[in-house]
Chains A and B, each alone.
Chain A
Amino acid sequence: AQKVTQAQTEISVVEKEDVTLDCVYETRDTTYYLFWYKQPPSGELVFLIRRNSFDEQNEISGRYSWNFQKSTSSFNFTITASQVVDSAVYFCALSEAVGNTPLVFGKGTRLSVIA
């Protein structure tokens, strides 16, 4: 069965610090998909990224970067030079196989960026 673990429940950083959110997953499938979502205080869920299991290249989007390592079953998310607007709950999620397997979410990490 698939499982996603986000061991960090809450993280607090000072503005402009870098911060890494950890995500460890479990799956028996060789083909799977990993996602990150952001939930700001307003409550909506915002898609950030999808990563395919066969593509191990790391990805950078502005201040955001993702480090995918199959050897350790991790898909960590780093925010560089954090800003107050980054304060949110961040969820990592996993979907197994090609097709329509529902996403399984981790419990989330609440990030507070203090000015």
Chain B
Amino acid sequence: NAGVTQTPKFQVLKTGQSMTLQCAQDMNHNSMYWYRQDPGMGLRLIYYSASEGTTDKGEVPNGYNVSRLNKREFSLRLESAAPSQTSVYFCASSEWFLAGATNTGELFFGEGSRLTVL
């Protein structure tokens, strides 16, 4: 049972290069998310997709683009990488949760992708 799989796990880029982080989930969840984690800053939301066909900005969307390719896949693209984008990136998915439902609404996270921009 893979859960949430993100690739690559490590990447080093030079300033100005582009790259795409891939994320796939096999739990048939409606919602997917991209967070970044920086020391002392916790997890900050970059973009999310509440359902297939929709995407919305989070707290720190500048410099990123996303694509919800289908229900399983949600990619994050850096068009022109900057040193400020050096971070650990986490993809997550969840099912919608409703009061009284047994679904806990928890986020299921991938293992993270460590990106360094020189």
A residues contacting B by CB (< 8 A) are: 6, 9, 31, 33, 35, 37, 43-45, 47, 50, 52, 54, 91, 93, 95, 98-100, 102-108
A31 contacts B106, C-beta separation under 8 Å: no
Number of interface residues of B (CB under 8 A): 31
B45 contacts A43, C-beta separation under 8 Å: no
- Can you report 9 A-B residue pairs in the complex whose CB atoms are below 8 A from each other? A35-B106, A44-B112, A45-B43, A45-B107, A47-B106, A47-B108, A50-B104, A91-B42, A105-B44
> Distance in Å from the Cβ of B108 to the closest Cβ of chain A?
8
Bound Cα distance A44, B113 (Å): 11
B42 contacts A43, C-beta separation under 8 Å: no
> Which residue in chain A gives the minimum CB-CB distance to B103?
A50
**Which residues of chain A have C-beta atoms less than 8 A from B98's C-beta?**
98-99
**Which residues of chain B have C-beta atoms less than 8 A from A100's C-beta?**
30-31, 50-51, 94, 96
With A54-B99, A108-B42 as given contacts, are A102 and B58 in contact (CB-CB < 8 Å)? Answer: yes
With A102-B45, A104-B45, A107-B42 as given contacts, are A33 and B97 in contact (CB-CB < 8 Å)? Answer: yes
Within 8 A of A (CB), among B90-118: 90, 92, 94, 96-99, 104-109, 111-112
With A104-B45, A107-B41 as given contacts, are A95 and B105 in contact (CB-CB < 8 Å)? Answer: yes
B96 contacts A99, C-beta separation under 8 Å: yes
With A54-B99, A98-B98, A100-B96 as given contacts, are A43 and B107 in contact (CB-CB < 8 Å)? Answer: no
A105 contacts B112, C-beta separation under 8 Å: no
With A100-B31, A102-B58 as given contacts, are A44 and B45 in contact (CB-CB < 8 Å)? Answer: no
Within 8 A of A (CB), among B4-54: 30-31, 33, 35, 40-45, 48, 50-51
> Which residue in chain A gives the minimum CB-CB distance to B44?
A105
A9 contacts B90, C-beta separation under 8 Å: no
Specify which of A33, A47, A100 lies most central, judged by the most chain B CB atoms within 10 Å of its CB. Answer: A100
Bound Cα distance A99, B35 (Å): 19
B104 contacts A43, C-beta separation under 8 Å: no
**Which residues of chain B have C-beta atoms less than 8 A from A103's C-beta?**
45, 107
